Amino acid sequence: MSAILEPVRPIELKEIREARKRIANIILRTPLVRLELGPDFPVIHLKLENLQPINAYKLRGAANAVAMLSESERRSGVWTISAGNAGQGVAYAARKAGVPCSVVVIETAPASKVERMRALGAKLIPVPFDDAWKAMEDRAFAGIEGTFVHPFDDQNFVTGNATLGLEILEDAPDVVAVIAAIGGGGLITGLGSAVKALKPEVKVWGAEPETAAPGALSFAKQSPQAFTGWKQSFVDGAGGKSIFPRMWQRMLPVVDGSIVVSLEETRRAMRLLAEKTRVIAEGAGALSVAAALSGKAGKGPIVAVVSGGNVDLDKFYELISTVSS
């Protein structure tokens, strides 16, 4: 844990381009594909981050954050807190760098995420969601030593995530809106930082489930808010209990708002992705598509970031099999 946190500051375009070079040999430049739905629907393109080596965008931020650690920080090992995807990202990047890694993992994380973190060599400490959220606020957890890599409130992590925005604007120069899930805010802040630096007229929207939407509440009240009606759901990779004040400082200048979708709309988007594009998206990965289909981001062209695909297949089948088409 750092005694003094670096002040929040904007992410410069130069930093994002440098991060892109730094992580190029670890991440995949993911494809952008059209979701073919017909003339009555918005024009939607999918940024398939579920195809990253860990099947989630978190590898971008983790790879940059680990690469930026000093030699002494690496020697002490690294640790993070995660529902699964950040843990996989940090574990993957740490293994590449020869650095020991521990993960305080939310005990309800899908088995597929847990097994992948373990396979990547991470030491796992399962805890209830509330304990993990408190550890993220405190940036500390009793009994763990080493360098903490925050899964979203970290300048280098967010800068790595921002490389997504460069790829989107190169592959979809006519885009008018981009949408990505909001959990802690690291994805949307990075994405927005790149997009607004190059094309400020492009709208940047978050997407949250109705059961956990502190981002939308924060934009409505124009200050960081806790979501008092928070409920756990299959959307485990997004939808936090609150927006951290530091993340609100990062988010406000580069994000236009957050679109709230129902769990049923999210499940329907998961099924639609599987039927139309043969893409498997976890709940958080489908939020952006559900938000795009709501029409609240306009007719497009929209880029929806499919942020991850780490979902147990039995659970995936259960979720989509009872959705009305």
- What would the pLDDT profile of 176-210 be if each residue is shown by its tens digit? 999 999 999 999 999 999 999 999 999 999 999 99
Q: Taking residues 49-76, report their average pLDDT.
A: 92
Q: Taking residues 233-261, report their average pLDDT.
A: 93
Q: Please, are residues 209 and 181 in contact by the beta-carbon 8 Å criterion?
A: no
Give the per-residue pLDDT at 268: 96
* Spatial separation of the C-alpha atoms in residues 235 and 240, rounded to whole Å: 10
Average pLDDT, the chain: 93
- What would the pLDDT profile of 1-51 be if each residue is shown by its tens digit? 444 788 899 999 999 999 999 999 999 999 999 999 988 999 999 999 999
Confidence of residue 152 (pLDDT cuts 50, 70, 90): confident
CATH code, residues 13-56+155-321: 3.40.50.1100
At residue 108, does pLDDT exceed 60? yes
* Spatial separation of the C-alpha atoms in residues 228 and 213, rounded to whole Å: 10
Q: Taking residues 66-89, report their average pLDDT.
A: 89
Q: Taking residues 113-123, report their average pLDDT.
A: 90
Q: Is the torsion defined by CA of 312, 314, 316, 318 positive or negative?
A: negative
pLDDT cut 90: percent of the chain above it: 74
Collapse the DSSP code of 130 into the 3-class scheme (helix H, G, I; strand E, B; otherwise coil) and give the result: helix
Q: Which of 149-153, 247-251, 264-268, 294-298 has the lowest mean pLDDT?
A: 149-153
Q: Please, are residues 210 and 231 in contact by the beta-carbon 8 Å criterion?
A: no
At residue 57, does pLDDT exceed 90? yes
How many Cα atoms occupy the beta-carbon half-sphere of 316 within 13 Å? 24
- What would the pLDDT profile of 293-322 be if each residue is shown by its tens digit? 999 999 989 999 999 998 889 999 999 998
Give the per-residue pLDDT at 325: 60
Confidence of residue 247 (pLDDT cuts 50, 70, 90): very high
Parallel/antiparallel/unpaired status of strands 32-35 and 44-48: antiparallel
- CA end-to-end span of the chain, whole Å? 48
Number of other CB atoms surrounding residue 228 within 10 Å: 9
Read off the tokens for 196: 């607004």
Q: If we measure between CA atoms, which residue out of 256, 260, 266 comes closest to residue 290?
A: 266
* Spatial separation of the C-alpha atoms in residues 106 and 121, rounded to whole Å: 17
Q: Between 107 and 268, whose confidence is greater?
A: 268
Q: Between 228 and 84, whose confidence is greater?
A: 228
Ranges of CATH 3.40.50.1100 domains, the chain: 13-56+155-321, 59-148
Is 3.40.50.1100 the CATH number for 59-148? yes
Q: Is the torsion defined by CA of 317, 319, 323, 325 positive or negative?
A: negative
Give the per-residue pLDDT at 206: 98
pTM for the model: 0.92
